[in-house]
Amino acid sequence: MKRLITLLFPLLFIYSCKSGADAIPSDTSFEREVLKIAFGSCNDTERGNLLWDDILALEPDLWIWGGDNVYADTDNMQELQEYYSALKSVPGYKALDAVTPVIGTWDDHDYGLNDGGAEFAARKASQQVFLDFMGVSESSPRRQQEGVYAAHNYATGKGSVKVLVLDTRYFRSELMADPSGDKRYVPHDQTDGTILGEAQWAWLESELQNSRADFNILVSSIQVLSGVHGFETWGNFPHEVSRLMGIIAESGARGVIVFSGDRHISEFSRTDSRPLRYPLVDFTSSGLTHAYRSFKGEPNPFRIGEVIAVESFGWVTLDLANRRATFQTRGDGNKVLLELIQNY
């Protein structure tokens, strides 16, 4: 196991007006100081998942789907429903779902189109099937909203955690293929493309500006910080990355953390570049059932530690009393493969 520890001294004068969780409407309340979160992505039900028993054994307070929850790649909604039904019938996941709150987002394969975005004709219908899978009420405003983004609040005896689930598919502009063929995609050279769309951007900015949570988790199906590998990433829209960093900094939101998936590898990325007031960690956890085992390396200037290229899931403990986050990549048998500790 590789262990990395980093310290950040809190800017109390900046955040003094954003303390406490007592005024935050909560999805769930926990009478403890440490919130335990498990998350993962890239789950092909036809391959089998050896990690459900390990996840269940840890007794997480919350399970977060990071996308590619099933591998459907279809615009046939009956087929998509069948994939979700198959997942719900898997004994390990069924046991977890029975005792653990479940939230999350989608990525391209459960959205319905490989590397797909706003051009996917069946996106509205696919959204309803996804919300069915997530157990969202028929009367929920999310049924009328375009996109699957949502906010969830969790209160503990020592503070609170806000989870902002992003939708990086529904509104995303067309990607730019690499004309040289060296990579799959290259960054946009103009500022008119989008990942989140204006409605979701306005929602995200409001959620962060008004957050009094001690930790604010952004769930992005694709990587935010690692942006030069040539696959799907926020880095394909550099102006959107800049916009996100600006909103995080200007909001004054405390303890912002990114969870991401998609890549079939697990790694920690971190930046403390301006305008951010503290290090931003992007914890990539992928994949649950199949990993990029032939991984030979790729550039990531923000990487901290090694790349894990075996099946794994993310395990995060948030110590509300001490403002400390512990990030772990765990494999079969609950083996800790990589660890990062960040104090806020």
pLDDT over threshold 60, residue 8? no
Q: How many domains does the chain have?
A: 1
pLDDT of residue 1: 62
pLDDT of residue 13: 27
pLDDT of residue 270: 98
SS (H, E, C) the chain: CEEEEECCCCCHHHHCCCCCCCCCCCCEEECCCEEEEEEECCCCCCCCCCCHHHHHHCCCCEEEECCCCCCCCCCCHHHHHHHHHHHHCCHHHHHHHHHCCEEECCCHHHHCCCCCCCCCCCHHHHHHHHHHHCCCCCCCHHHCCCCCCEEEEEEECCEEEEEEECCCCCCCCCCEECCCCCCCEECCCCCCCCCCCHHHHHHHHHHHHCCCCCEEEEECCCCCCCCCCCCCCHHHCHHHHHHHHHHHHHHCCCCEEEEECCCCCEEEEEECCCCCCCCEEEEECCCCCCCCCCCCCCCCCCEEEEEECCCCEEEEEEECCCCEEEEEEECHHHCEEEEEEEEC
The CATH number assigned to the domain holding 233 equals 3.60.21.70
Instruction: Compute the average pLDDT of residues 226-255.
Output: 97
pLDDT over threshold 60, residue 165? yes
User: What's the whole-number average pLDDT of the chain?
Assistant: 93
pLDDT of residue 22: 30
pLDDT of residue 31: 78
Residue range(s) defining the domain that contains residue 278: 2-343
Give per-residue pLDDT as tens, 319-340.
999 999 999 999 999 999 999 9
Distance CA 337, CA 184 (A): 29
pLDDT over threshold 70, residue 2? no
pLDDT of residue 339: 98
In the chain, % of residues over pLDDT 90: 88
pLDDT over threshold 90, residue 45? yes
Instruction: Compute the average pLDDT of residues 59-82.
Output: 98
pLDDT of residue 278: 92
pLDDT over threshold 60, residue 241? yes
pLDDT of residue 3: 56
> Closest Cα partner for 196 from 219, 229, 173?
173
Q: Give me the torsion for CA of 15, 244, 34, 160, rounded to 10°.
A: 50
pLDDT of residue 273: 85
pLDDT bin (cut points 50, 70, 90) of residue 190 is: confident
pLDDT of residue 279: 96
Instruction: Compute the average pLDDT of residues 171-186.
Output: 96
pLDDT over threshold 60, residue 148? yes
pLDDT of residue 16: 30
Instruction: Compute the average pLDDT of residues 53-67.
Output: 98
pTM summary value? 0.93
pLDDT of residue 7: 39
pLDDT over threshold 50, residue 12? no
Give per-residue pLDDT as tens, 287-312.
999 999 999 999 999 999 999 999 99
